[in-house]
Amino acid sequence: MKTCQLIAPSRKISKKKLEQAVKNLKALGFHAIYDKNILDRDCYHAGTVSRRVEEIHKAFQNKKVNFIFSVTGGYGCIELLPFLNYDLIKSNAKPLVGYSDITGLLLGLFKKTKIPLIHSPMPGSKYFSLKNKYLKQLDDCLNGKKHAIRINSKNIVRKQFFRGNIVGGNLRILISLIGTPYELDTNNKVLFLEDANERPAAIYNMLLHLELSGKLKNIKALILGKMNQCGKYKTLLMKFLKRLNVPIICDLDLGHSQNMISIRLGSKITFDTENSCLIFN
């Protein structure tokens, strides 16, 4: 049984969520450990910045830990980025798993270290499910194994072959990092985006922001997740997508969903048009 460490780098968590995360990871064959102060609270957050930064550093330094999982997301991850020791993390590289607000931590580490980073279900999230049909993918991503996902024709907006390194994450968090030392380089990349609980007009404006900042100028393809609890956003979304001349796949289970696809940031992805499937290397 491999050991993983649970961290709470964002929103404060309850004992119930922590226990659920431990239980879910055990069902996946992991022995989960965590910092004794993981339930600390500082306003909205899981303790002070220094507590959360120290927790991350200890998780990477612990030689007994194989993988690191964020319990859940929330808000506040990006405030940790200036205080992380990226040399320490890089020299103790191991996969880190999370999504939603944890996109801030993933993209910051991706920019500074290129360690294995997995955009994937978090074991304490309400969206985590042991019945997730893509759950085996998480193991493939953690261990760098090749795998593939078949794409329904209704999800393909513009069907063209593409191959490239995939990057992305939560749309709002990605936007918040533009203009900082941690902003995402999308040049010649396959970009994936997901979000939840946003107004349709807000999604449209954030996509415009991406376009105006040049983040969509040289992408190889765009993959969009389902924007859960975002109202009737698809009309505005399709209006925006007409502006782009790249392969586009929409409505995948990439984020806030019971069936969630795992993605290893920076991994090679190919769209096989003949068989309508995404192949992850």
Q: Verify that 99 and 169 share a domain, yes or no.
A: no
Q: Verify that 161 and 274 share a domain, yes or no.
A: yes
The answer to whether residue 31 scores a pLDDT higher than 90 is yes
* Radius of gyration (C-alpha) of the chain in whole angstroms: 18
Q: Verify that 157 and 244 share a domain, yes or no.
A: yes
Q: What is the pLDDT of residue 258?
A: 82
Span 227-254, average pLDDT: 93
142 is a domain residue:
no
Q: Verify that 275 and 161 share a domain, yes or no.
A: yes
Q: Which of 230, 273, 233, 231 is nearest to 249 (CA)?
A: 273
Number of folded domains in the chain? 2
138 is a domain residue:
no
> What is d(CA 173, CA 164) in angstroms, rounded to the nearest whole number?
23
Q: Return the minimum-mean-pLDDT range out of 12-16, 124-128, 210-214.
A: 124-128
Query: Residue 58: how many CA atoms within 13 Å on its side-chain side?
Result: 17
The answer to whether residue 235 scores a pLDDT higher than 90 is yes
Q: Which of 81, 44, 57, 41 is nearest to 7 (CA)?
A: 57
Both tokens assigned to 9: 């780098």
The answer to whether residue 27 scores a pLDDT higher than 90 is yes
Q: Verify that 88 and 171 share a domain, yes or no.
A: no
Q: Verify that 113 and 44 share a domain, yes or no.
A: yes
Q: Verify that 182 and 256 share a domain, yes or no.
A: yes
Q: Verify that 6 and 119 share a domain, yes or no.
A: yes
The three-state secondary structure class of 160 is coil
Q: What angle do CA 22, 25, 31 make, to 5 degrees?
A: 75
The model's pLDDT over 165-197, given as tens digits with 9 standing for 90+, comes to 999 999 999 999 999 999 999 999 999 999 999
Q: Verify that 35 and 70 share a domain, yes or no.
A: yes
132 is a domain residue:
no
Read off the pLDDT band of 20 (50, 70, 90).
Answer: very high
pTM: 0.96
* CATH code of the domain containing 108: 3.40.50.10740
Span 78-87, average pLDDT: 98
135 is a domain residue:
no
Q: Verify that 78 and 196 share a domain, yes or no.
A: no
> What is d(CA 257, CA 260) in angstroms, rounded to the nearest whole number?
6
Span 117-131, average pLDDT: 92
Give the residue numbers spanning the domain of 220: 147-280
136 is a domain residue:
no
80 is a domain residue:
yes
134 is a domain residue:
no
Q: Verify that 96 and 180 share a domain, yes or no.
A: no
Scanning 190-254, the segments in alpha helix (DSSP H) are 200-212, 234-241
Higher pLDDT, 123 or 133: 123
Q: Verify that 91 and 21 share a domain, yes or no.
A: yes
> What is d(CA 205, CA 78) in angstroms, rounded to the nearest whole number?
21
The answer to whether residue 111 scores a pLDDT higher than 90 is yes
The answer to whether residue 10 scores a pLDDT higher than 90 is yes
> What is d(CA 104, CA 81) in angstroms, rounded to the nearest whole number?
8
